């Protein structure tokens, strides 16, 4: 498996873990009710950031830009979700 495919697979799995396994339902309800004002949204973003950091470090990517971009993309997706409903 190429390094890009390995990184992509690991980031998708990390994202699924952060969204469905490590996120309690109280965070989901808080985010749905309070949208951008929800403090749990920022905890969720932090969870994604730490997960992305762990994945990129484990895969061997030590480029700060890749880590920052991964956190930004995850955060943007969580901010945009309420706008789609």
* d(C-alpha 47, C-alpha 44), whole Å: 5
Please state the domain extents for the chain.
Answer: 3-84
**Cβ neighbours, 10 Å, residue 34:** 13
In 3D space, the residue among 51, 72, 49, 53 whose CA is nearest the CA of residue 61 turns out to be 53
Give me the residue label for tokens 């990390």.
14
Higher pLDDT, 20 or 72: 20
Residue keyed to tokens 């749990």: 40
Overall average pLDDT of the 14-19 stretch: 87
35-78 pLDDT, tens digit each: 778 888 888 888 888 888 888 777 776 666 666 766 677 667 66
Please tell me the predicted confidence (pLDDT) of residue 7.
78
């Amino acid at each position: 498996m190429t390094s890009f495919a390995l990184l992509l697979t690991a980031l998708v799995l990390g994202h699924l873990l952060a969204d469905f396994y490590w996120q309690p339902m109280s965070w989901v309800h808080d985010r749905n009710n309070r949208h951008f004002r929800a403090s749990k949204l920022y905890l969720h973003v932090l969870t994604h950031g730490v997960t992305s950091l762990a994945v990129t470090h484990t895969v061997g990517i030590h480029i700060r830009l890749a880590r920052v971009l991964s956190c930004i993309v995850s955060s943007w997706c969580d901010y945009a979700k309420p706008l789609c409903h």
